[in-house]
Amino acid sequence: MPLAHLAKCSARSITTADILFDDVTKDQFPRDEETREAFGFNRCFHWKEESRLPGLYRGFLLFLHDREISPVELNKWQKTAPLRGRSRGSMPYPEIAEGDTSRGFFETSIYSKTQPQCVHQLQGPENLILRASIPNPNSVELDLWYDFGFALCTDEYHEKNLGALYSKLVGGESLFRDYDTSLGIASNCDATLPTCSFDEFWRAWRDGTMADLFDKYSVDGGLDGDTGSGLGRNIGFHHLREFLAFPFEKHELRPSLWRLKHLLALDDNTPLTGFPEIVEASHEYGFTPQIDAQTRINLRQSYRELLDTVDPLEVHRAMERGELLGCSESQLIFVGERARDVLQKMNLTRLKKNGGISHKLA
């Protein structure tokens, strides 16, 4: 039963198993945080592990030999017994359940008690890089998601590929080779790929020469053009070389648009008290303390749609010229009335600052 229909017609409450079942049938990764936690997605060390879990659950829920497992039964198992024990003998391909694909993901209570403390500190830069992980944009302590250019990617797929590039730069293809080996899969990874040291990596980040490392070690063809990871087709990614060229002490000189993208990546209810750089930059795009919650929602939606279709730096230039509303309308982006008023005032303010008031706007 579709999730929307279930929510409307069923007498029972919607569970995380129902949400997982809905995602599995739609062939998409779960986004609901409770569902991701309940079924092990948040326990994956990197995206290659996570990419195997949907297939495992599809087999569990849709393709068993004898019968399908209902979301009700799956929810009961998840709450009362380790799922891994249930998977053995139930799966049409039992070896899947026996391999590293399921190891550690299902035993929720055991996992939190047995893993060393360092494993939980995944925000550590070295761990994130070696595991090809995506930094958390909501992290207040570390600004890695922004500092390493993930704000330039338009979606999670390209963020994962960018994480893989950093991992290859420091660790070569050992992560991917070892993971394939653990699953008994023949690996075509290159064991001789040259890598840089962490010391070299951090010096390059500090000095604004990170792009030179990609050139030096020829990781997936460097940062220019259409890379083997498909990042060249990602709107904004071709600005990464310029973005990484700012040394640490000049990070605040980067175009404020990238902080706007950081704002859009945050959970909608995330307080901005721990993100002063985002607060300052977002003011340039109309997110001032004077606007109400509905206007913020309208602005977020409009900017997301605009940045999906227009080069981000062109949006930034339109803001600086006082033409942001016109830029949005030229792309047939719907702008709510409240957001329109904000953009109109922004245009006037910017034009006054630039010394050229448009008669149409005055």
For the chain (362 residues), the mean pLDDT of every run of 10, in chain order, is 64 84 83 85 66 73 63 78 50 39 38 35 50 80 89 86 83 65 64 76 90 80 52 65 93 96 91 93 94 92 92 95 92 85 92 66 36
Handedness of CA 245, 247, 253, 258 (dihedral sign): positive
* The residue to which tokens 């699953």 are assigned: 183
Contact 173, 293 (CB under 8 A): no
- Write out the H or E segment, with its range, that includes residue 290: none
State the Cα–Cα distance between residues 197 and 126, nearest whole angstrom.
11
Helix or strand or coil: residue 166?
helix
Write down the pLDDT at residue 299: 93
Which tokens go with 119? 């494993």
Which tokens go with 153? 């990617």
**Domain ranges in the chain?**
3-118, 123-253, 257-354
Write down the pLDDT at residue 127: 56
State the Cα–Cα distance between residues 147 and 142, nearest whole angstrom.
9
State the Cα–Cα distance between residues 362 and 360, nearest whole angstrom.
6
State the Cα–Cα distance between residues 298 and 113, nearest whole angstrom.
43
CA-based nearest residue to 184, from 93, 54, 106? 93
Contact 163, 254 (CB under 8 A): no
- Write out the H or E segment, with its range, that includes residue 360: none
Query: Which positions ≥6 away from 144 have C-beta within 8 Å?
Result: 123, 125, 128, 135, 150
DSSP 56-118: HHHHHHH--SS-PPPHHHHHHHHHHS-HHHHHTTTSSSHHHHHSTTTTTTS-HHHHHHHS-HH
pTM, two decimals, is: 0.62
CA-based nearest residue to 312, from 241, 255, 354? 255
- Distance from chain centroid for Cα 110: 28
Handedness of CA 227, 204, 145, 54 (dihedral sign): positive
Contact 318, 350 (CB under 8 A): no
C-alpha distance from residue 235 to each of 253, 324, 360 (Å): 21, 19, 32
